[in-house]
């Protein structure tokens, strides 16, 4: 083998390990279509691999329909088995679960059934096969009392039932399927199937209909564009990564700052935005603090940086608590601008490989 051939072989092997330009194992099942991450992933993969991607939504969510969308509950073992027998899925992107904080606090059995038993049922179908599993977890497995910048080796200490059941699900995946990969994501910024399911949706709808929105100064997250997450999922599914990875974005933003961005970029009345500290909001549901994540392990193992900063434009980052009240030609502020720059990555760039 010549030196040039050896270099090319090395590049090919590296690409296959990382999933670069290698299609995911198909057919692919995506669960949790009601959530922002799952819905956007399904749209991306279904368009790119037509006829080979299927999305799972709850049976009672009859308003969501279309080619490749299947109504079935992951808690229904018989239905799930029939689905796997019929399609012989070679990979699964599990983004399902209930993230309704208050609902989970009030109904632990529901939270456990959906967030833990659901993944257990999926793993039962995967057991003994070569099916690839990419499981999505969340930054709320941390309490946010340690100053943020969490690494994968940090001990989990969730303050909510939702976070506690997500830790249980992680443990179950690692015990039963050690070759699987787990991505802890933060706030996925993208469109939702009904215009109400995402972080941007809720905040924007409050402003759109002239209703007050109160967000926290001291709950801090690392949001990401779903456009970036979709490509990351593709690489993770195609590759051989295993274990837990943090997938948080570049900017650390409080929920109040995120609302400031939505308010000003969307051109909404700034009087409708209020802020407070978590302690002022009452005990139900409990709120985490600074749960920002350090994603350097992910970038190192991938050998590329998977994320464009959200928001993409640096001038959209608040500099003080009254920043959203300032209006200028630099940030004209319209719902159209919001749709173009906050729901979607406006750069149009592909992932930047190192």
Give the model confidence (pLDDT) of 48-103 as tens digits.
Answer: 999 999 999 887 887 888 899 998 888 888 989 999 999 999 999 999 888 889 99
Classify residue 266: in a domain, yes or no. no
Please report which residue ranges of 129-284 form alpha helices under DSSP H: 161-176, 199-208, 226-238, 255-265
Please tell me the predicted confidence (pLDDT) of residue 178. Answer: 93
Which residue in 325, 344, 328 sits closest to 336, CA to CA? 344
Which residue in 220, 257, 234, 218 sits closest to 342, CA to CA? 257
Classify residue 278: in a domain, yes or no. no
Helix (H) / strand (E) containing 104 = helix 101-106
Q: What is the pLDDT of residues 176-216, one digit of tens each?
A: 999 999 999 999 999 988 888 889 999 999 999 999 999 99
Residue 184 CB contacts under 8 Å (≥ 6 apart), including other chains: 136, 137, 138, 139, 141, 152, 244, 245, 246, 247, 248, 293
Instruction: Compute CA distances 89 → 31, 53, 123, 131, 133, whole Å.
Output: 12, 9, 12, 7, 10
pLDDT greater than 60 at residue 352: no
Region 326-333: mean pLDDT is: 89
Query: Is 129 within 8 Å of 185 (Cβ atoms)?
Result: no
Region label for 8, one of left (φ > 0), alpha (ψ between -120 and 50) or beta (otherwise)? alpha
DSSP letter at 116 equals I
Classify residue 276: in a domain, yes or no. no
Classify residue 54: in a domain, yes or no. yes
What are the structure tokens assigned to 298, written together?
């992910």
Please give the model's pTM, rounded to 2 decimal places.
Answer: 0.91
What would the DSSP string read from start to end of 187-204? Answer: -EES--SSSSSSHHHHHH
What is the number of domains present in the chain? 1
CA distance 16 to 23: 10
Q: Which residue has the higher pLDDT, 283 or 153?
A: 153
| Beta strands at 304-305 and 132-138: parallel, antiparallel or unpaired | unpaired
**Residue 171: which CATH number?**
3.40.50.720
Q: Which residue has the higher pLDDT, 6 or 260?
A: 260
Name the average pLDDT for the chain: 90
Instruction: Compute CA distances 96 → 36, 42, 131, 138, 349, whole Å.
Output: 10, 12, 18, 12, 28
Region 97-126: mean pLDDT is: 93
CB neighbours of residue 130 within 10 Å: 9
Classify residue 267: in a domain, yes or no. no
Which residue in 88, 69, 76 sits closest to 30, CA to CA? 69
Query: Is 136 within 8 Å of 93 (Cβ atoms)?
Result: yes
Region 256-266: mean pLDDT is: 98
Q: How confident is the model at residue 21 (pLDDT cuts 50, 70, 90)?
A: low
The residue range of the domain holding 133 is 11-255+284-353
Classify residue 119: in a domain, yes or no. yes
Classify residue 297: in a domain, yes or no. yes
Please tell me the predicted confidence (pLDDT) of residue 7. Answer: 39
Classify residue 317: in a domain, yes or no. yes
In the chain, how long is the greatest CA-to-CA distance? 69
pLDDT greater than 70 at residue 224: yes
């Amino acid at each position: 083998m010549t030196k040039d051939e050896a270099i090319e072989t090395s590049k090919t092997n590296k690409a296959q390990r990382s999933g670069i330009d290698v299609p995911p194992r198909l057919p692919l099942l995506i669960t949790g279509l009601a959530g922002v991450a799952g819905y956007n992933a399904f749209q991306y993969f279904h368009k790119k691999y037509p006829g080979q991607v299927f999305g799972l939504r709850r049976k009672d969510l009859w308003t969501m329909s279309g080619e490749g969308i299947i109504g079935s509950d992951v808690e229904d073992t018989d239905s799930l088995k029939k689905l796997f027998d019929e399609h012989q899925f070679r990979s699964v992107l599990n983004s399902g679960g209930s993230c309704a904080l208050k609902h989970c606090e009030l109904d632990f059995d529901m939270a456990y059934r959906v967030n833990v038993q659901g993944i257990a049922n999926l793993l039962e179908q995967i057991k003994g096969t070569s099916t690839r599993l990419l499981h999505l977890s969340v930054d709320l497995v941390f309490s946010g009392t340690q100053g943020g910048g969490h690494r994968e080796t940090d001990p989990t200490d969730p303050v909510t039932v939702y976070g506690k059941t997500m830790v249980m699900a992680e443990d179950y995946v690692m015990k039963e399927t050690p070759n699987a990969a787990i991505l802890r994501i933060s706030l996925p910024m993208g469109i939702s199937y009904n215009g109400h399911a995402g972080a941007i949706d809720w905040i924007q709808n409050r402003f759109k209909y002239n209703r007050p929105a109160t967000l926290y100064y001291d709950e801090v997250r690392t949001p990401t564009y779903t456009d970036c997450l979709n490509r990351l999922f593709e690489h993770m599914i195609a590759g051989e990564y295993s274990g837990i990875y943090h997938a948080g974005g570049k900017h650390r933003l409080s929920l109040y700052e995120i609302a400031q961005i939505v308010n000003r970029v969307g051109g909404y009345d700034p009087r409708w935005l209020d802020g407070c500290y978590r302690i002022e909001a009452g005990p139900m549901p409990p709120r985490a603090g600074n749960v920002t994540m350090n994603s350097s392990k992910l970038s190192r193992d991938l050998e590329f940086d998977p994320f464009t900063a959200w928001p993409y434009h640096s001038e959209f980052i608040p500099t003080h608590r009254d920043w959203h009240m300032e209006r200028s030609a630099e940030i004209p502020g319209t719902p159209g601008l919001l749709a173009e720059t906050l729901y979607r990555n406006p750069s149009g760039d592909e992932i930047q490989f190192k």
